[in-house]
Structure 1
């Protein structure tokens, strides 16, 4: 089992509790508990599991899908031992594509293609 206390361990905690474009966008209401869940989990990782606070990254309501991917890429590159990825919030299944939508963006009223999460790979 990996040791989360080491300097080589990283965690990225991502929460999407706000539907972009405001509450009710895409039929999704805000989920205020997402922000506190991410913040509380970060505190647990530091206070109870011994992770360095600098190694726990919180990403709250990323406005654009690339910010989600950028956080994952940066923490994956920095992790030399354990990498904990936690996602909490909105998502929609797209069975025909074999993956789920996790993020949407709405910039100046123009809908963009949602970001996706694929199955983790070993």
Structure 2
């Protein structure tokens, strides 16, 4: 699925806020811009948890929207946010990795009290959402 485009606002020393023109009522915030992508992705997942995800508009369609043009002119900016719809069910996957890398993955997972699968899922989720 294409990412959703969020509109980011920040005034003075306040937190960064983001809302999604294609998903009314869905918003998030973060004190640091580096955290906003992760927070916004979580907000999308929670907001769309029990409903079908609407098709996001293209970047060109959003840029042509007069309300969005006004927000951008006032200093807002756009951010692409990946949507990860978690189903709550697991699925087995067979992957191939270098043996040395696999040993380090297993060691790190054990040190963190995680299974290999939980560790790899966490790393993948963080990589996808920034």
TM-score bucket of the superposed structures, by smaller chain:
under 0.3
Larger radius of gyration: 2
**Relative to total residues, which structure has the larger strand share, 1 or 2?**
1
TM-score normalised by length of structure 1: 0.25
**Relative to total residues, which structure has the larger helix share, 1 or 2?**
2
TM-score normalised by length of structure 2: 0.24
